[in-house]
Amino acid sequence: MGVALSDATATLASPLTTLDRGDDPAVLDAAVVDLVVASEVSEVVVGLPLNMDGSKGPAARAAASEADRLAAALTAAGLAGVAVSLHDERLTTVVADRTLIRQGRRAPARRKIVDKTAATVLLQSWLDGPGGRRVRAGAGGSA
């Protein structure tokens, strides 16, 4: 899972790292909580993998559940003020891969960084987008 951060002015997204999803969701949540604390994050944006027609399929429902679980983990860690938002992630990996190709990166090198590059594309899209498209997780029914 790719991770990106914005600058302090919430203007520019930059790649940070990649986290292993593993088999235990609690381990992933703990890793995200650690990053939130270390980087003094005020909001977490989770990719929402909508179908190409904009509908919500099983992957989008799973992402919404993951976002709700992360919101609960943040609250349990005393970070209830950190919002968790969902944002449309359609084509972020395609955009990331094409960007890396334009930079002259070969396939093996791209595979190592495409997830955090896609996370950067997602976060930049969220930063640039209107607030009305943002869907809050953990606030009574998520998308």
What tens digit of pLDDT does each residue of 38-96 get? 999 999 999 999 999 999 999 999 999 999 999 999 999 999 999 999 999 999 999 99
The 10 Å Cβ neighbour count of residue 8 is: 8
Residue 136 has pLDDT above 60, yes or no: no
Note the pLDDT of residue 129. Answer: 84
Determine if the pTM surpasses 0.75.
yes
Q: Is-contact 120 14, C-beta < 8 A?
A: yes
**Does pLDDT of 133 surpass 90?**
no
**What pLDDT sits at residue 131?**
59
| Helix or strand run (H / E) with residue 83 | strand 83-88
> What H or E segment, with its residue span, contains residue 103?
none
Asked if residue 21 has pLDDT above 60, the reply is: yes
Question: What is the average pLDDT across 24-37?
Answer: 96
49 to 26, 52, 61, 105, 119: CA distances (angstroms): 21, 9, 9, 26, 12
What long-range pairs does 88-94 form, CB within 8 A, spacing at least 24? 88/47, 88/48, 88/50, 88/125, 88/133, 89/47, 89/48, 89/49, 89/50, 89/118, 89/122, 90/49, 90/50, 90/52, 92/47, 92/118, 92/119, 92/121, 92/122, 92/125, 93/118
**pLDDT tens column, 118-132:** 999 999 999 988 753
CA distances from 130 to 14, 68, 72, 88, 125 (A): 20, 22, 26, 12, 10
What's the pLDDT at 132? 37
Residue 135: pLDDT over 70: no
Domains of the chain in sequence order: 2-136 (3.30.420.140)
Q: What DSSP state is assigned to residue 23?
A: S
Each residue of 3-16: pLDDT tens digit?
999 988 888 999 99
